[in-house]
Amino acid sequence: MPEIIRASVLRAPADAVWARVTTFAGINDEFRPLMRMTAPRELREGGLDAAPIGTRACRPWLLLGGVLPVEFDDLTLVEVEPGRFLERSSMLTQKVWEHERTVAPHEEGALVTDRVAFTPRAGIPGSVTRRLVALTFDHRHRRLQRRFSGRAA
């Protein structure tokens, strides 16, 4: 399974970063202006804390430019603990989508690490998916670095 890892050192306390990156407002801020992720009201308001563990929480759409549906995610969190979540889902284009994010204390503030592994569905070149995932997480980390005055780790 191809894997992408991105990490950033952010100049903010780890608990403040965690509080932001586990909300849909925070998630969508990371995606902007490339895309936006939809969610039902209870998840928009409660973030990942409101999501059930081990069962599909919802099927959010990823909207290119915030308007054009291009992908959906059967959002399933399998582990959530302070400073770490693990999502293992399927998507329209991915048989398996696994996203693990950790937010850990660091001498400069917080270290955010994303590990993404995926198995594309038949007919979708893995190299294309790998490049799109890498570009998306590069963008997300640049947005985090801007918000929290950070840098690539």
Write the pLDDT tens digit of every residue in 55-107: 999 999 999 999 999 999 999 999 999 999 999 999 999 999 999 999 999 99
In eight-state DSSP terms, residue 74 is -
pLDDT greater than 90 at residue 124: no
Q: What whole-number distance in Å separates Cα of residue 27 and Cα of residue 33? A: 12
Angle between helices 126-147 and 24-31 (to 10 degrees): 110
In eight-state DSSP terms, residue 107 is T
Largest CA distance in the chain: 45
> What is the extent of the structural domain holding 107?
3-152
Query: Token digits for 63?
Result: 């909207």
Q: What is the CATH number of the domain that holds 25?
A: 3.30.530.20
- According to the model, what pLDDT value does residue 67 have? 97
Asked if residue 60 has a cis previous peptide bond (ω within 30° of 0), the answer is no
At a CB cut-off of 8 Å and minimum separation 6, what does 130 contact?
2, 4
Domains of the chain: total: 1
pLDDT greater than 90 at residue 112: yes
